Amino acid sequence: MSEAPHQAADRATGNALLQGKRILISGGARGLGRAFGEACRREGAQVVLADILHAEGRASADALAAQFVPLDLADPASIEACVQQSVALLGGLDGLVNCGAITNSGGRNLDQLEIDTWDQVMTVNVRGSWLMSRAALPALRAARAQGGGRIVNIASDTALWGAPRLMAYVASKGALISMTRSMARELGGDGITVNAIAPGLTLVEATEYIPQDRHDLYRNGRALQRAQQPEDVCGAVVFFLSDASAFVSGQLLPVNGGFVMH
């Protein structure tokens, strides 16, 4: 029988990539965010999962021996409270993963999108990630003595190939990629690195609505022709959170099996 993720983390030695690191992950209740939490725990980190899905978030945190904090990325007050509570629970903060996002625009052409939908997606995906990063800055600056703070923005390869009928989401992820570069330049003097990852179409709850022809397009167009799993993205996240990436900042890493080669 294989050991549980928290058991693997608890037995981790000083060789673990994130040993002693304190990590906050938005959108951590399920899907990619939960997988990132599991990978971080396995590499020795203390983890807070933050999400608007309270029941699922608490269940995931319990399963990983992590902490859960409620978070509504559309609410600035909730963001501030989430970061403050997370820092208090962890005793500081070494890394932030901006994974929380909504799609809401899938399957509609640009002339079918409603203004409210556009604004919702931009509010959560773009403004929410900015406000999470801003709220975390004091704690991340304080982490300089421990090797420097890390921000990892979860973008999407849809912004790299111009996925159709998904424009609000694509635009929001393109904005996040651009924000990553600007943030990296602004925060480098504080010893904080900022990088982005662009996953391809990954088999998680949030992509269950996607038509089969889009799944087929990805699978047939990849250099590695198989379905993408959440675990495929975890190594890149762990790398960007670790000291191994201490001199890497402002970079975008597509993780999509070679569908988009950047």
Of 69, 55, 60, 7, whose CA–CA distance to 37 is shortest?
A: 60
Query: What is the model's pLDDT at position 11?
Result: 42
Calculate the CA 56 to chain-centre distance.
17
Q: Is residue 10 pLDDT above 90, yes or no? A: no
Handedness of CA 240, 243, 244, 250 (dihedral sign): positive
Q: Is residue 9 pLDDT above 50, yes or no? A: no
pLDDT, tens digit, for every residue of 187-218?
999 999 999 999 999 988 777 777 888 889 99
| Residue 42 and residue 9 in contact, taking contact as beta carbons nearer than 8 Å | yes
Of 172, 32, 152, 180, whose CA–CA distance to 102 is shortest?
A: 172
DSSP string, 190-258: GT-EEEEEEE-SB-SGGGTTS-HHHHHHHHHHSSS-S-B-THHHHHHHHHHHSGGGTT--S-EEEESTT
Q: What is the mean pLDDT of residues 128-151?
A: 96
Distances (CA, A) of 44 to 9, 67, 242, 246: 5, 14, 11, 18
Of 151, 198, 134, whose CA–CA distance to 172 is shortest?
A: 198
What are the catalytic residues?
169
Q: Is residue 8 pLDDT above 60, yes or no? A: no
| Residue 151 and residue 183 in contact, taking contact as beta carbons nearer than 8 Å | yes
Query: What is the model's pLDDT at position 98?
Result: 98
Per-residue pLDDT band for 14 (boundaries 50, 70, 90) equals low
**Domain range 16-255, CATH class:** alpha beta
Q: What is the spatial distance between Cα 175 and Cα 200, in angstroms, rounded to a whole number?
A: 17
The DSSP H or E segment spanning 23 is strand 22-26
Q: Which residue has the tokens 């421990």?
A: 146
Q: What is the spatial distance between Cα 96 and Cα 27, in angstroms, rounded to a whole number?
A: 11
- With a pLDDT cut of 90, the percent of the chain lying above it is 84
Tokens of 38: 């599991």
Q: Is residue 4 pLDDT above 70, yes or no? A: no
Q: What is the spatial distance between Cα 136 and Cα 134, in angstroms, rounded to a whole number?
A: 5
Q: Is residue 6 pLDDT above 80, yes or no? A: no
Per-residue pLDDT band for 2 (boundaries 50, 70, 90) equals very low
pLDDT, tens digit, for every residue of 20-55?
999 999 999 999 999 999 999 999 999 999 999 999
